[in-house]
Amino acid sequence: MSERIFGHIPGYPVGSWFESRAALSEAGLHRPQVAGISGTEGEGADSIVLSGGYEDDADWGNEIVYTGHGGRDRGTGKQITHQKLSRGNLALAKSRLAGLPVRVIRGSTHKSNYSPPHGYRYDGLYRVEDHWQERGRAGYYIWRYRLIKSAEAGIEDSQAATESKGSYSVPQRQETTVLRIVRDTKLTRKIKEAYNYHCQICKIRLEGSAGPYAEAAHIRPLGMPHNGSDSLDNLLCLCPNHHVLFDYGAFAIADDLSLIGIEGSLTLVDGHCLGQANLRYRREHYFLGS
DNA sequence: GGGCCCGCAGGG
DNA sequence: CCCTGCGGGCCC
């Protein structure tokens, strides 16, 4: 079993067509032969298939409301119990928390204007914007997921061809809208796990029904013109509040790791060293004090 | 086209 | 190991 890949699969651009689930699995676009959700409770979900198996699904092309799995009678396929936030359902929720991209595949048996006439078609990357439970048409609670087509698909398309090593796609750009889309990479996940999702400033650990939430913050930003490095000595594990305060220049970190601008001190676990040049860069370019 | 059932491979 | 899941083929 190979490593799970989040993001595009090299060699299979958006629009790629497959005759069967077996062919989809072989390509690595969606590995399970039958299940609609691919992923684990720990890693998150990397792909889904829309095949019309659940009557509550809705599809508007760039926006999908997908139904979780479980609670159905094996023989008749009818909903006979509530669905639980476990297995693939929890995996999709984890992808939301981590901002991971989900490959969406539409099958011909999925009844919508966006389904292919035959077989299965890879329709690109979506993000999980929301998840909640509601009563389905059969009267039992089902889990639902709102998926939004990724706006940065074009960037990733060109990137996927050259670079797709490892199990996480590398973000080129971070959307900074009201809702911060912070996509997990191998490194950002590593920093969060090193601190067990505790904020390095206030030590708080936020936990929702689908698990803990934290954000990885680059000290010296990535990309032009900052050109910070994507490495552990340039990363912090923060709660959303302190991430915002850090990015907006409310505080900075001194060479001796004391905080400037706010009270408190920075927590550092064994083996995590911060680059002094990174700390200096942040102080000089974002912090107004001193 | 609907119902049935034999499957696989993934994941806990 | 056991259980499950938006296949797929073959009946009728």
| Residues A151-175 pLDDT 10s | 864 444 433 333 333 344 444 444 4
Gap from A2 CA to B6 C1', Å:
27
State the pTM of this model: 0.88
Q: What is the pLDDT of residues A165-201, one digit of tens each?
A: 334 444 444 443 334 445 778 899 999 999 999 999 9
Q: What is the mean pLDDT of chain A?
A: 87
Q: Which H or E run contains A242?
A: helix A240-247
Q: What is the pLDDT of residue A180?
A: 46
- Mean pLDDT, residues A281-288 taken together: 95
Q: What is the pLDDT of residue A165?
A: 36
Q: Which nucleotide is nearest to A2 (CA to C1')?
A: B10
Give the separation between CA A29 and CA A44, rounded to whole angstroms. Answer: 15
Joined tokens for residue A124:
């690109």
Query: Among residues A144, A163, A178, which one ends one of the domains?
Result: A178
Question: Do A246 and A126 share a structural domain?
Answer: no
Question: How many domains does chain A fold into?
Answer: 2
CATH code of the domain containing A77? 2.30.280.10
- A34 CB-to-strand C distance under 7 Å: yes
> From the C1' of C6, which residue's alpha carbon is nearest?
A53
CA distance to A52, A99, A100, A148, A270, per residue, from A279 (Å): 52, 26, 28, 36, 18
- A107 CB-to-strand C distance under 7 Å: yes
Question: Do A232 and A103 share a structural domain?
Answer: no
- A89 CB-to-strand C distance under 7 Å: no
- A45 CB-to-strand C distance under 7 Å: no
- Mean pLDDT, residues A212-232 taken together: 95
Domain extent, residue A279, equals 185-286
Question: Do A203 and A109 share a structural domain?
Answer: no
Q: What is the pLDDT of residues A79-114, one digit of tens each?
A: 888 999 999 999 999 999 999 999 999 999 998 889
Q: Which nucleotide is nearest to A109 (CA to C1')?
A: C6
- A40 CB-to-strand B distance under 7 Å: yes
Gap from A75 CA to C11 C1', Å:
17
Q: Which nucleotides of B are covered by protein (CB under 7 A)?
A: 4-5, 7-12
Q: What is the pLDDT of residue A88?
A: 95
- A117 CB-to-strand B distance under 7 Å: no
Question: Do A193 and A171 share a structural domain?
Answer: no
Q: What is the pLDDT of residues A26-66, one digit of tens each?
A: 999 999 999 999 999 999 999 999 998 787 789 999 999 99
Long-range contacts of A184-189 (CB under 8 A, 24+ apart): A184/A6, A184/A44, A184/A98, A184/A99, A184/A100, A184/A216, A185/A230, A187/A216, A187/A230, A187/A231, A187/A232, A187/A235, A188/A216, A188/A235, A189/A98
Question: Do A193 and A146 share a structural domain?
Answer: no
pLDDT of A69 strictly over 70: yes
Query: Among residues A150, A178, A206, which one ends one of the domains?
Result: A178
Question: Do A133 and A54 share a structural domain?
Answer: yes
Q: What is the pLDDT of residue A56?
A: 77
- Mean pLDDT, residues A131-138 taken together: 89
Question: Do A195 and A214 share a structural domain?
Answer: yes
- Residue A87 corresponds to which amino acid? R
